[in-house]
Amino acid sequence: MSIIENKLTSLQLTLPTVSTPLANYVPCVIAEPLLFVSGQLPYENGKVKIVGQLGATVSEEQGIEAARHCMLNILAQAKAALGSLDKIKRCVKITGFVSATADFTAHPKIINGASDLIVAVLGDAGKHARAAVGVSSLPLGAAVEVEAIFEVGG
């Protein structure tokens, strides 16, 4: 078993089954040394787990959990594309899109659900650049969407 998958196990994290893209695109593209992972929703068992808007129908706790779940899906997609997560050298950048009302202000706290997970899994190599923004709506009504760029090799 790989180093990073051992780490996932020790954190009691299980990667979800990868979801099929909702349309005519692919989950991952490698343009060496970068791996671009398509925007992931908080999918679980083929359904979006947390739907609605932050500042309205979704609590901060649910938003954080949604972001965390997006990152689990990012890792699952990266594993499917790379064969082994040990090919990840570092997480370069994530963009966190939060479905949010005009008066919502805690986007960083929500996207921490994704950031904290990747830093827990990859350690210093998980420390990434980031943008977190509020959007008017997301595919299938998801509360959060996260995309990622990794540096890969080896």
Q: How many residues bind a copy of itself (CB under 8 A)?
A: 60
Query: Out of 8, 37, 76, 88, which residue is the one contacting a copy of itself (CB under 8 A)?
Result: 37
Query: Out of 10, 17, 34, 80, which residue is the one contacting a copy of itself (CB under 8 A)?
Result: 34
Query: Out of 16, 18, 27, 63, which residue is the one contacting a copy of itself (CB under 8 A)?
Result: 27
Query: Out of 111, 121, 122, 143, which residue is the one contacting a copy of itself (CB under 8 A)?
Result: 111
* Residue 130 binds a copy of itself (CB under 8 A): yes
Please give the Cα distance from 85 to 96 (Å, whole number). 21
Kind plus residue range of the DSSP H or E element containing 62: helix 60-82
Query: Helix (H, G, I), strand (E, B), or coil: what is residue 121?
Result: helix
* Residue 82 binds a copy of itself (CB under 8 A): no
Cβ count within 10 A of residue 141: 14
C-alpha atoms less than 13 angstroms from C-alpha of 91 in its C-beta half-sphere: 29
Residues within window 42-81 making contact with a copy of itself, judged by CB under 8 A: 53, 55-56
E strands in 11-72:
28-31, 34-40, 43-44, 47-48
Q: State in angstroms the smallest separation of the CB of 1 from a copy of itself.
A: 26
CA nearest neighbour of 118 among 80, 137, 90, 77: 90
* Residue 141 binds a copy of itself (CB under 8 A): yes
Say which residue the tokens 């051992």 belong to.
Answer: 6
Residues that bind a copy of itself (CB under 8 A): 21-29, 31, 33-34, 36-39, 53, 55-56, 90, 92-95, 97, 99-109, 111-112, 115-116, 119, 127-141, 145, 147, 149, 151
